[in-house]
Structure formats: structure tokens, C-alpha cells
Amino acid sequence: MRRVGGSHRGLDMWLMQRASAVYMALFLPFFLVCALAAGPLDYAAWHGLFASPAMKVATFLFVAAMLAHAWIGLREIFIDYLHCARCTLLRLALYFAFAVLYLGCLVWTVDILWNVR
């Protein structure tokens, strides 16, 4: 049951931070090229960019990677700066609050993207 207490999870998060970074670093130039190829970005071109299921999925994965990356990054910052005796509870509360916020964002992203028809 050691993993429940958080032991050994640092390596998982370290790896997740790299994996999400690599996906984002690949997606961003790809997306930029697609956007530039779509011509002058008026509403129709921008809207059309997200029309295909492939682009929806790729963008959704980007947002998912970004949210995971942001959560782990913020956790890192909280660990670095909040380490007083009573800060453990505060840190846990912050992890929880951002997990709820970001999971909400993830569901919202599905709604945003799949409403593009």
C-alpha cells in the first residue's frame, strides 16, 4: 500500500511531465502549420480547422496533456514553497482544488470541440 501514501509517485509524475511536454511540443508546430495553411483566419477558416474528427481528437489530447502538465507543475511549485508544519493540509487542498478545476476544464473541452460541426 505504499503507493497510496504517494511514495514512488515522483518518478511517474516526472515521466508524465516529459511525455505531455513532448506531445505539446509536437502538436503546437503542427497546429501552427495547419492554421497558416488555412489562409487568413476569419471565422469560417478557424471553425473549419476543428471540423475533422482527427483535429478534434488531436486538440483534445493537447488540452489533456496541458492540464496534466499544469497540475504536476503547480504541485511542484506548492511543494517547493509550502512546507511549514501546517502546510500539508493546505497543499492537499490545493491539489484537490486544481484537480477538480482541471477535470472540469477537460470535460468542458469535449463540449467546446464536439460542438464544432
Chain residues in the site for another protein (CB under 8 A): 18, 21-22, 24-25, 28, 43, 46-47, 50, 63, 66-67, 70-71, 73-74, 77, 101-102, 105, 108-109, 112-113, 115-116
Query: What does the block give as the cell for 2?
Result: 505504499
| Least distance between another protein and beta carbon 10 (Å) | 15
Residue 4 or 44: which CB sits closer to another protein?
A: 44
Residue 4 or 90: which CB sits closer to another protein?
A: 90
d(CA 36, CA 34): 6
Using the structure block, give the residue that is written with the C-alpha cell 501546517: 86
User: In sequence order, which residues have a C-beta less than 8 Å from that of residue 28 and are 6 or more positions away?
Assistant: 62
